[in-house]
Amino acid sequence: MRSVITGSAVREKVWLQKLYPSWLPLVLAMGLVWRRRWWRFLVGGLNRPLIFLALFAWNLKHTAGGVEYLQFLLPGLVVMAAVTASYTDLVNWFTIRRTVYRVLDEYLLAPVSTASLLAGHVLAGGGKGLVVALVVYFGGWAVAGHFSFPLLFAVQLAVVCLLFASLAVAVAMIAGGDRDVLMFTNLVVFPMTFFCGTFFPVERLPGALAKLSWFLPLTAGTYNLRGLALTGVPHWNWFGQSLGWLAGFYLVAYLLLNWRRQD
């Protein structure tokens, strides 16, 4: 009798796996958390871009490369919102639950593959970042106008969000606690939002710093988003670089998550 029940349960599990991907429950679970606290995540993702919009755009009237500074600035603020919303909450979620509550151990012991575990959290974190970034973009569009919204803009923005969601998982796997996360964020992630063409052209940076900025993972995405927003013309080289960075960070996150699972 027990073998019959066990066989039925196995067949039901296989049928359910065919019905939907195994990472989907993780996305829905994180979505339920964010649904209850959506206003916190939205305010947290919008406050910094709006502050910079007020400080820079309303007080600096000069142009950048023949473009009004407000139009130059908005794509950079969209990138900042995408990075903040995709990276910050997810890295804190993973780190605290791994080092304090040990909730991650239950995920790692569950019959869910490492690939599905990573995909679910990256898609959830990147999706939230995409929503916040689009709210910033369309809000700025209502103020400044004269922007384009081709399909590739949304795709490029999604790549940036998924990239930093993957980075969040990778950092959380090796961080010893929230202090390590804060140090990495302040020393690496936050400076990238300034030196990757968000608030001023990379070409205006002094020699070595300008060359270094072109090798940062955010620069290509920022420049491609600005080009798409202002002219609607894509730069496939920059888009390819963003995809390469996404693939690299995703692979690193997978390897670290798998290492943590076997530890």
Structural domain boundaries of the chain? 23-262
> How many CB atoms within 10 Å of residue 162?
24
- Confidence grade of residue 2 (pLDDT, cut at 50, 70, 90): very low
For the residues 170-186, what does the mean pLDDT come to? 85
**Rounded Cα distance, 200 and 64, in Å:** 8
- pLDDT reading at 7 higher than 80: no
**Rounded Cα distance, 222 and 241, in Å:** 11
More confident residue, 172 or 143: 172
pTM for the predicted model, two decimal places: 0.80
- pLDDT reading at 255 higher than 90: yes
DSSP state of 68: E
> How many CB atoms within 10 Å of residue 62?
6
- pLDDT reading at 138 higher than 70: yes
Do β-strands 63-64 and 67-68 pair in parallel, antiparallel, or remain unpaired?
antiparallel
How confident is the prediction for the chain on average, in pLDDT?
79
- Confidence grade of residue 130 (pLDDT, cut at 50, 70, 90): very high
**Rounded Cα distance, 105 and 187, in Å:** 29
